[in-house]
Amino acid sequence: MGDNGRVRVLALVVVAGCGFTPGALPAAMGDDSTDDASVIDGESGDTQQVTTDAAVDGMVDAPGVPLPTWVVIDTITVPVIGTMVMSVVTLTNGVSYKLRAEGTFVIQSPLGTPADAEWWDYNNTMQDGVVGVDVGLAVNDFTVDTVRTPKWGAYQASHVYEVDWVGNGQKLVAMLHDGNFANNTGSLTLKVLALQ
């Protein structure tokens, strides 16, 4: 028998003697846990099936079970004259949501200056505030001053902005912050999204 033949026979003897079970992962020495891995009981030779992220795998593998997606659960029309508007839904305490601001309005009606939830005069000199006021759509922020919650982020030509939001067991209150509401016309839309 040549060297290649001897190597093959030796390899078969080693594999046969190690108690390998296809599809199973051995447990660490002294580890009796069965979470997220197969365990081979060295004494009895029993093997438990691999169960990695079983809940997620079950959703992905189960036929006809859709994955969770972000769904609009409330739509609020927010006037741009400083009026506070409350959501219909109550946001569950500690649950993650997304808030989506959409649309444009006129912030200086005689001049026709455009604005959205975060920025104004974006066709010319891109502003996000005036003296003493952070202009834009505010949520649960009732004081018109230099700090507004939330900050909607970098300018978007689509005028659609989205931020993460954690519920506090109450309804949302939305309003526009501005230094002069008298020359504003139009409204903005605030949508609340939940993972369903």
pLDDT attached to residue 42: 44
Fold that domain 70-195 belongs to in CATH? Jelly Rolls (2.60.120)
pLDDT digits (tens, 9 = 90+) for 3-62: 555 445 444 444 444 554 455 444 444 444 444 443 334 444 443 443 344 455 555 556
pLDDT value at 103 more than 60: yes
Q: Where are the alpha helices (DSSP H) in the chain?
A: 3-17, 54-61
Q: Where in the chain are the domains?
A: 3-61, 70-195
- Say how many C-beta atoms besides its own lie within 10 A of residue 155's C-beta: 13
SS in 3 state form for 107-167? EECCCCEEECCCCECCCCCCECEECCEECEEEECCCCCCCCCCCCCCCCCCCCEEEEEEEC
Q: Phi, psi (5° rounding) for residue 14? A: -65, -45
- Say how many C-beta atoms besides its own lie within 10 A of residue 156's C-beta: 16
pLDDT attached to residue 60: 56
At 89, the pLDDT band (50, 70, 90 cuts) reads: very high
What span, in angstroms and rounded, lies between the C-alpha atoms of 155 and 17? 65
As a whole number of Å, the end-to-end CA separation of the chain is 66
pLDDT attached to residue 57: 53
pLDDT attached to residue 149: 98
pLDDT attached to residue 115: 97
pLDDT digits (tens, 9 = 90+) for 149-180: 999 999 999 999 999 999 999 999 999 999 99
pLDDT digits (tens, 9 = 90+) for 106-122: 999 989 999 999 999 99
Average pLDDT over residues 123-144: 96
pLDDT attached to residue 63: 74
pLDDT attached to residue 64: 84
pLDDT value at 76 more than 50: yes
